[in-house]
């Protein structure tokens, strides 16, 4: 019969590994920023993969924590996970703003850039909404609040100009 692992010990071990995932996100953000500035998008894939890996790992940790009995150790892990997620989401929001700005600076989207633009638009929307609500809103640092406001302005502007920016108007029959 398989031995059941201690969920607190597993969550603690995973939290330690989450720092490595967070560093990978930081590295990928830097690479994506440099790539977008040069209209090169290979580094964006690493950025996208690093975020997916981080998010997936957070889900694993969250479920390990939920399996643990209530108490100070569990509460401590929940607080650490919340802090790690908030910090990562703040960095991702800033990166999305910068990536959208870099893409929008092109008169026309380079090949493959429209898909990246749309993905970052969805990301910007999701991050702005998440960071505007609890439990994340009360955890935000002073440097992130302006990014949340800027994200809202960017989203409004894109929505106002969406048909022209994204060619969303129906094609006229010939």
Average pLDDT of the chain is: 83
| Contact call for residues 96 and 120 (beta carbons, < 8 A) | yes
- pLDDT of 66 reads 93
Q: Does residue 15 or residue 170 have the better pLDDT?
A: 15
**d(C-alpha 168, C-alpha 174), whole Å:** 18
Q: Give the model's confidence band at 169: pLDDT under 50 very low, under 70 low, under 90 confident, else very high.
A: very low
| Contact call for residues 57 and 3 (beta carbons, < 8 A) | no
**d(C-alpha 135, C-alpha 139), whole Å:** 7
- Residues 71-88: what's their mean pLDDT? 93
**Residue 131, helix vs strand vs coil:** helix
φ, ψ for residue 79, nearest 5 deg: -65, -40
- Write out pLDDT tens, residues 95-110: 888 888 877 776 766 6
- Write out pLDDT tens, residues 143-168: 898 999 999 998 888 877 765 555 54
21 to 77, 82, 121, 145, 158: CA distances (angstroms): 17, 15, 23, 24, 31
105 to 96, 108, 109, 111, 143: CA distances (angstroms): 14, 9, 9, 15, 24
What pTM value is reported for the model? 0.79
**Cα-only R_g, the chain:** 19
């Amino acid at each position: 019969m398989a031995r059941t692992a201690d969920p607190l010990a597993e969550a603690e071990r995973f939290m330690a590994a989450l720092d490595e995932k967070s560093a990978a996100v930081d590295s990928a953000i830097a690479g994506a920023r440099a790539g977008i500035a040069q209209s090169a998008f290979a580094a964006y894939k690493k950025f996208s993969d690093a975020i997916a890996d981080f998010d997936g790992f957070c889900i694993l940790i969250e479920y390990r924590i939920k399996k643990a009995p209530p108490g100070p150790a569990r509460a401590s892990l929940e607080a650490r996970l919340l802090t790690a997620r908030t910090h990562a989401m703040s960095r991702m929001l800033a990166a999305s703003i910068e990536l959208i700005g870099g893409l929008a600076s092109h008169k026309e989207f380079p090949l493959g850039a429209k898909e990246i633009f749309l993905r970052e638009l969805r990301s910007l929307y999701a991050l702005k909404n998440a960071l505007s609500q609890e439990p994340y809103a009360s955890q935000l640092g002073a440097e992130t609040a302006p990014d949340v406001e800027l994200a809202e302005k960017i989203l409004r502007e894109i929505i106002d100009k969406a048909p022209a920016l994204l060619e969303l108007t129906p094609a006229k029959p010939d």
